[in-house]
Copies of this chain bind each other. A is one copy, B any other.
Amino acid sequence: MYTRADRVRQIDRLIGSIRATGSPSAIGLDTRYEYIPEDFAARHSDGGRAGAIYEFNARLLRGLRDIIPCVKIQAAYYEMLGPDGMSCMAKTIAEARALDYVVIVDAKRGDIGATAEAYSAAYLGTDAPFRADFLTVNPYFGRDGVEPFISACERDGSGVFILVKTSNPSGRELQDLTLADGGPMYERLAGMVSEWGAPLMGSEGYSSVGAVVGATYPVQGADLRRMMPHTFFLLPGYGAQGARASDLAGCFDASGGGAVVAAARSLICAHRKTAAADFVRAARDEALNMRDRLLEAIRHARPR
């Protein structure tokens, strides 16, 4: 039998794993079939598109584990392939888990309590068919829609990243609306997320309840870092979406921790831009490049 004391908090594992690899980064497996080199796809088409995507994902996961601590799997790209795509997602998760990656499933689920409970059963906990260490969650339903996910985290040590400030241009339309008692809506939400996470603090000073903060809004990201000192950030938007390493530096804490940067297309499509022998090598080169840029930007932003 396992007791609470035995349980590893995934937020602590994430922080430890970032430290071990020296890179605060996640490879985003937003794998479209079109991203796979043609010859590789042709050689792995027995299982259809989903089969080729799994093989591509697995090669990347095996080839990058020493330099990347974390994988972010975007559910939409698997859902669009139907049940076969969902099997591919489950297999990709299992492969990542076997390689000891910290696994974020980026599904942005959210619903009323009873339904959020069902989504939680799909993604969090030992019996979940798509078992994630972290799940991204949409907060539009307020506390009772988020509660089932947080309860699951409390039970098994997993975590969530709740959308606070998204990376897309029109995220502002709702998230930045100014409230009657001052400040934009996303700051109010930041307060809620901090409060929800307060009872789930890990041993490294960060809660199991994290936040998604778009890397494309550097000023707001730095403000949120100050407002949410115990909330770990998942930062999407690096690379293909336009955010540079210097935009991200303010989202890290004074020790250079507190956040993980997700990059998808810039890594998985790196083979299109280089003369590297294969897509794994191209992704490795870009992952090392990204790590160096991130560490330099973080160092540069810190007081000496």
Contacts and interface: CB of A to CB of B under 8 A. Distances in A.
Interface in A238-264: 241
A202 interface: no
A111 B174 contact: no
Interface string A51-74: 000000000000000000000001
B83 A83 contact: yes
A218 interface: no
Contact of A138 (B118, B130, B138, B175): B138
B122 A140 contact: no
A139 B139 CA distance: 11
Given A109-B76, A166-B112, A166-B141, A129 B178 contact: no
Contact of A144 (B77, B114, B140, B168): B168
A258 to B, nearest CB: 23
A106 to B, nearest CB: 8
A180 B24 CA distance: 38
Q: Is the interface of A mostly helix, strand, loop or mixed?
A: helix
Interface in A58-103: 74, 76-77, 79-87, 90
Nearest to A216: B112
Interface string A147-185: 000000000000000010011111111110111111001
A19 interface: no
Given A83-B90, A90-B83, A129-B81, A74 B143 contact: no
A83 B142 CA distance: 29
Contacts of A129: 80-83, 85
A295 interface: no
B180 A79 contact: no
Q: How large is the interface on A (under 10, 10 to 19, 20 to 34, 35 or more residues)?
A: 35 or more
From A108, A128, A169, residue with most partner B Cβ within 10 Å = A108
Nearest to A182: B180
A25 B116 CA distance: 23
Contacts of A32: 118
A141 B168 contact: yes
A87 B168 CA distance: 32
A112 B165 CA distance: 12
B138 A110 contact: yes
A174 B170 contact: no
A145 B121 contact: no
A95 to B, nearest CB: 15
Contact of A115 (B30, B115, B143): B30
Give the top 8 A-B pairs by smallest Cβ distance, nearest first.
Answer: A82-B129, A142-B173, A142-B170, A76-B118, A112-B168, A178-B180, A144-B170, A79-B122
12 contacts: A76-B109, A82-B129, A83-B84, A86-B86, A110-B138, A139-B140, A141-B166, A142-B171, A143-B173, A174-B185, A179-B179, A179-B180
